[in-house]
Amino acid sequence: MRRITLSRYLIEQQREKNHLNSDLRLLIEVVARACKTISVAINKGELAGVLGSAGTDNVQGEVQKKLDVLSNEILLDANEWGGHLAAMASEEMDEPHPIPNRFPKGEFLLVFDPLDGSSNIDVNMTVGTIFSVLKCPEGVEPNEQAFLQPGVKQVAAGYALYGPSTMLVLTTGHGVDAFTLDREQGSFVLTQKGMRIPEETKEFAINMSNMRFWEAPMQRYINELLAGKEGPRGKDFNMRWIASMVADVHRIMTRGGVFFYPIDSKTKDKGGKLRLMYEANPMSMLVEQAGGAATNGLQRILEIKPEKLHQRVPVMLGSKQEIDLVTSYHLESQ
């Protein structure tokens, strides 16, 4: 079987299919290299002294792990000098990170969650990196306002999954393909082309401990799933919950299912739990490109116009049939 590396794949996407330009191709390669570096640090764990708390909080008031800080630095350092970016923004930084004046500037904006699910690090569970690429509007300074574009404006999105194997799942707006890191060769190799999410599923992912805080439409939907064959859905459902969005979404991308982090009384004043720009938008683009659906309960996530960089939203994504149903329950309640 012919082995297609990420580099070859991107060159073919540029040369033969005209799906991306040379700067975007190189940008994706740089992000992939940074993810390989993060993977090495995670793989060494306590041997490298990278586990545990960094003793600081991020802009969301969440305690940062040492690997949160390290992963953020790796992505910044890797992407500053290539000449592809106008600026970067991260979950771990209050403000956008401009490209230093000593380096050339490009036309793209990179947004990322450097280490999603980092609360799982110390117990050796799967974590990941999520990223989104936007074009910087012409004639606009690469400040926070430049980043505030709806998800439909993304030109690429992806995530790296640091599990038993390290994977990179990517879309440039023409389907979703997955690559597995060959550690001996040091290359990401195409291992799954044209990922598709089945429209129907019997599997859901949600934090059930928050059930008493959910709004009525979400409680109604989950109670129907829990009722199983004897309930209105007429079939049994299984629940899976890893508490790492990358891991939960990757399972859905691989075999179907739905993922929920709905609004609840604890997070309502913040707008939700997950961040729109660097969690919900890139994951929604990937899910839609794989034939799934993604809403906040009332509207398509990719059509939400961001008002601030660290904006939070409710997230419901995965197999289309289930997302359409739970969205209809929320719309009925309006």
187 is in an annotated binding site: no
- What span, in angstroms and rounded, lies between the C-alpha atoms of 188 and 45? 22
Contact (CB, 8 A) for 205 and 251: yes
328 is in an annotated binding site: no
113 is in an annotated binding site: yes
119 is in an annotated binding site: yes
- What span, in angstroms and rounded, lies between the C-alpha atoms of 331 and 333? 5
Q: Which residues contact 177 (CB under 8 A, 6 or more apart)?
A: 9, 169, 170, 171, 190, 192, 193, 194, 195
The letter for the amino acid at 207 is N
Q: Which two tokens stand for residue 206?
A: 């949600």
91 is in an annotated binding site: yes
199 is in an annotated binding site: no
117 is in an annotated binding site: yes
143 is in an annotated binding site: no
Residue list for the binding site: 91, 113, 115-119, 207, 273, 279
Q: Which residues are annotated as a binding site for substrate?
A: 116-119, 207, 273
Binding site, annotated residues for Mg(2+): 91, 113, 115-116, 279
